């Protein structure tokens, strides 16, 4: 069954094997973990799953706590708590390490998995992350949190237009509006401040900088904003990390331009394979 009972939460997930026609499993045999964003679900990755399995990758795509087909406990919506759910899911599946690909809040969750559970994440691909909000945006977040307490669904729907561009397909706007309306109100009201205003949050600068510099693995980040890409470039620790900008893209750039995004991911996975092959052999034990 595609559900995992993990303490106080029941997570829905899919676990797709690589296509037999693709030949040997790629990326060193590591599964890919796809992590969706706020008020969304794993359906966001449907187009990409098919392409990644066809390229020889195992792909695990969960619905986060409170989202999609997963259960919605009353609490537990900090990025670190959502990452802990995923660590338990990987334990259940017998998976020690993954390459994590996360969008928006999902990029925060994937980063938290790398930071809080060392060794579980070989590499990260972050897609227009929710972290790193600059002061000119952060000043509006407390007001948005207050509005969420009064009418969560209407507030989140009201945020949506700024996430799109004129090129964003209408069907994508409709699909995400429906997902927002299907997300429990307490989840909308808790997960947003957990990212940006609650004590210990790290969604705004400089808290983002302090947290993200704890990531030791290679990171590739795709930003809609060139300024954000330049900002994050200064935070990377691994020499194979980089941030790239997608001019003209909206927040859900992986869904707006899926073929282009899939090519970027495939190229990145090939880079990681080469890096692993170039690693010096460990000295033999006496």
| Position 284 confidence tier, pLDDT thresholds 50, 70, 90 | very low
In this prediction, residues 155-173 reach a mean pLDDT of 94
Q: 46 or 1: whose pLDDT is higher?
A: 46
| For residue 285, pLDDT beyond 50 | no
Q: What is the per-residue pLDDT across 177-225, written as a single tens digit (0 to 9) for each?
A: 999 999 999 999 999 999 999 999 999 999 999 999 999 999 999 999 9
Contacts 24+ apart (CB under 8 A), 133-137: 133/196, 133/203, 133/204, 133/205, 133/208, 134/204, 134/205, 134/227, 134/228, 134/231, 135/204, 135/205, 137/204
Q: Are 30 and 125 in contact (CB under 8 A)?
A: no
Q: What is the pLDDT of residues 119-144, one digit of tens each?
A: 999 999 999 999 999 999 999 999 99
CA angle 93, 97, 98 (to 5 degrees): 90
Q: Give whole-number Cα distances, 173 to 167, 180, 203, 223, in Å.
A: 11, 11, 24, 19
Computed on alpha carbons and rounded to an integer, the radius of gyration of the chain in Å comes to 18
Task: Give yes or no for residue 174 having a pLDDT over 90.
Answer: yes
Q: In the chain, where does DSSP find H-type helix?
A: 46-54, 79-93, 105-116, 135-138, 141-150, 152-159, 170-182, 185-196, 207-212, 226-233, 253-256, 258-278
Q: What is the pLDDT of residue 27?
A: 53
Task: Measure the CA–CA gap between 167 and 34, rounded to whole angstroms.
Answer: 25
Q: Which domains does the chain have, with CATH numbers?
A: 3-274 (3.40.50.1820)
Q: What is the pLDDT of residue 19?
A: 85
Chain centroid, CA 19 distance in Å = 24
Least-confidence region, from 42-46, 191-195, 275-279: 275-279
14 secondary structure, DSSP code = E
Work out the percent of the chain whose per-residue pLDDT is above 70. Answer: 94
Q: What is the pLDDT of residue 149?
A: 96
For residue 271, give every residue at least 6 positions away whose Cβ sits within 8 Å of its Cβ, in sequence order, or none: 240
List phi, psi (to 5°) of 73. Answer: -55, 165
- Which tens digits make up the pLDDT trace of 217-263? 999 999 999 999 999 999 999 999 999 999 999 999 999 999 999 99
């Amino acid at each position: 069954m595609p559900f995992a009972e993990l303490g106080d939460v029941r997570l829905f997930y899919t676990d797709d094997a690589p296509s037999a026609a693709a030949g040997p499993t790629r990326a060193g045999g590591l599964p890919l973990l796809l992590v969706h964003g706020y008020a969304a679900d794993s359906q966001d990755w449907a187009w990409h799953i098919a392409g990644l399995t066809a390229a020889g990758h195992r792909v695990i795509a969960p619905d986060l706590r409170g989202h999609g087909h997963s259960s919605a406990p009353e609490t537990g919506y900090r990025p670190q708590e959502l990452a802990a759910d995923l660590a338990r899911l990987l334990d259940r599946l017998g998976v020690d390490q993954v390459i994590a690909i996360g969008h928006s809040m999902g990029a925060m969750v994937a980063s938290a998995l790398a930071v809080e559970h060392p060794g579980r994440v070989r590499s990260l691909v972050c897609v227009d992350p929710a972290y790193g909000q600059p002061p000119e945006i952060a000043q509006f977040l407390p007001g948005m949190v207050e509005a969420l307490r009064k009418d969560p669904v209407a507030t989140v729907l009201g945020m949506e237009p700024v996430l799109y561009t004129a090129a964003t397909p209408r069907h994508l706007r409709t699909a995400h509006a429906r997902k927002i309306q299907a997300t429990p109100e307490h989840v909308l009201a808790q997960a947003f401040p957990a990212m940006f205003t609650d004590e210990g949050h790290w969604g705004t600068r400089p808290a983002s900088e302090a947290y993200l510099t704890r990531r030791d693995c290679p990171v590739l980040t795709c930003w809609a904003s060139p300024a954000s890409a330049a900002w994050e470039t200064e935070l990377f620790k691994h020499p194979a990390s980089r941030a790239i900008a997608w001019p003209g893209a909206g927040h859900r750039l992986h869904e707006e331009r899926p073929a282009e995004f899939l090519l970027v991911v495939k190229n990145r996975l090939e880079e990681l394979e080469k890096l692993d092959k170039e690693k010096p052999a460990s000295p033999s034990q006496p």
